[in-house]
Amino acid sequence: MRLLEDLLRPNIKALAPYSSARNEYSGCTAHVYLDANENPYNAPYDRYPDPMQNELKKELSRVKRVPIERIFLGNGSDEAIDLLYRCFTRPGIDNVVAIEPTYGMYRVCADINDIEYRPVLLDDGYRLNAENLLHACNSDTKIIWICSPNNPTGNSFLHDEIVKVINGFDGLVVIDEAYSDFSSCHPFRLELATYSNIVVLNTMSKAWGCAAIRLGMAFASPEIINVMNKVKYPYNINLLTQRHALEILKNSYEVEKWVRTILLERSRMVSAFALLPCCKQVYPTDANFFLAKMDNAQAIYDYLVEKGIIVRNRTHVALCNNCLRITIGTKSENNELLSALRQYC
Ligand SMILES: *Cc1c(COP(=O)(O)O)cnc(C)c1O
């Protein structure tokens, strides 16, 4: 790996971060706070939230088995994705490489930050090809984006193929594990100590059932995490989000139950889709959704919308012609989708 300081955008390397009132105070015995120009009334919403989210990180560290100094928290994973561009890529000069098809935000954030985006098609069976990804890199490539289990294809990539990418590249490899709770693959989140050039993304939006509160995580070396903390908005995670996340983390038993139910429903849905005459193929999935090739995705999508059922039409995405992406819902939602399709096909 290149030295971190060689990967950093020069202005970020030189940045003196904003020092908030809550940052400068670090003792724990204070009881009178007259340092942040807050209104003393309307507790608890009158006070700025903890800018470093220490209590929440302590709990996350326990549940995710990642040391606190390796955790960054963002307003959804989307904040972490954007921050990685802002910290490590020079607009108009650098480029990033990513698998194709994959999650759309990697490209949108590249466009916003004026960074060249180099998509590399997956192999047959939506398999990852390390060699192809590495071939697309040059000396200005700063980040390689991998998502496993991948969205929208649903499959996980071979661990050793991802390792080939990590070992063959001298910049950052971001591995988005948003769906890893639904997969039995060993997560890279637990291999941070082995690979200093990876950033692993997690989110509360999927298995943890908290898409509304906007909480995403990046796990990486303490050096990378320090840079991200320097660039983020000082109070990027609000009090309500920190509180609700703490609550749900203490209910991880409930979350495990949801995941088991979703996985059972997933196998029921995949079998049922395979029997639909209008379904040509269901692709293997390791996530809480599956991709299905239909005989006419647009027509079926339109028909379902008419019935008040929304799925994701991926027909215009590379390698996904005539594909619909189906999220696993509750049993009754899933049944409603199935009976609508049985009427149609
Ligand atoms: C849904 C999803 C996310 C979650 O993003 P948040 O901003 O945390 O809600 C991240 N990555 C992928 C690949 C996703 O599909």
- Average pLDDT of 167-175? 98
Q: Which atom of ligand 1 is nearest to the CA of 216?
A: 8
- Using alpha carbons, list the distances in angstroms from residue 73 to 209, 239, 256, 316, 331: 17, 13, 22, 33, 33
- Amino acid sitting at position 79: E
- Using alpha carbons, list the distances in angstroms from residue 78 to 85, 224, 236, 282: 11, 17, 12, 29
Please work out whether the CB of residue 152 comes within 6 Å of at least one atom of ligand 1: no
- Closest C-alpha residue for ligand 1 atom 2: 178
Query: How much is the mean pLDDT over the chain?
Result: 96
Instruction: Tell whether the model's pLDDT for residue 188 goes beyond 80.
Output: yes
CA of 216 to the centre of ligand 1 (A): 8
Q: What's the pLDDT band for 2 if we cut at 50, 70, 90?
A: confident
Among 176, 171, 173, CA closest to 94: 171
pLDDT tens profile 133-163: 999 999 999 999 999 999 999 999 999 999 9
Collapsed DSSP state (helix, strand, coil) of residue 22? helix
- Average pLDDT of 326-339? 98
pLDDT > 90 in the chain, percent: 94
CA of 344 to the centre of ligand 1 (A): 32
Q: Give residue 27's pLDDT.
A: 64
Among 289, 300, 292, 298, CA closest to 324: 292
Instruction: Tell whether the model's pLDDT for residue 283 goes beyond 70.
Output: yes
* Cis before 234 (ω within 30): no
Residue to mutate (ligand 1; options 60, 75, 77; most atoms within 8 A of CB): 77
Q: Give residue 3's pLDDT.
A: 83
CB 285 within 8 A of CB 156: no
CA of 264 to the centre of ligand 1 (A): 22
CB 222 within 8 A of CB 212: no
Q: Which atom of ligand 1 is nearest to the CA of 215?
A: 8
Indicate the pTM of the whole model.
0.97
CB 286 within 8 A of CB 154: yes
* CA atoms in the 13 A half-sphere facing the CB of 39: 6
- Between helix 331-344 and helix 252-274 the angle, nearest 10°, is 10
pLDDT tens profile 59-118: 999 999 999 999 999 999 999 999 999 999 999 999 999 999 999 999 999 999 999 999
pLDDT tens profile 6-37: 999 999 999 988 888 777 776 667 899 999 99
Q: How deeply is 238 buried, as exposed, middle or buried, from its count of CB atoms within 10 A (0-12, 13-18, 19+)?
A: middle
CA of 178 to the centre of ligand 1 (A): 6
Q: Give residue 338's pLDDT.
A: 98
Residue to mutate (ligand 1; options 181, 206, 213, 286; most atoms within 8 A of CB): 206
Residue to mutate (ligand 1; options 205, 219, 289, 314; most atoms within 8 A of CB): 205
Pick the residue with more confidence: 340 or 5?
340
- Closest C-alpha residue for ligand 1 atom 15: 151
* Cis before 284 (ω within 30): no
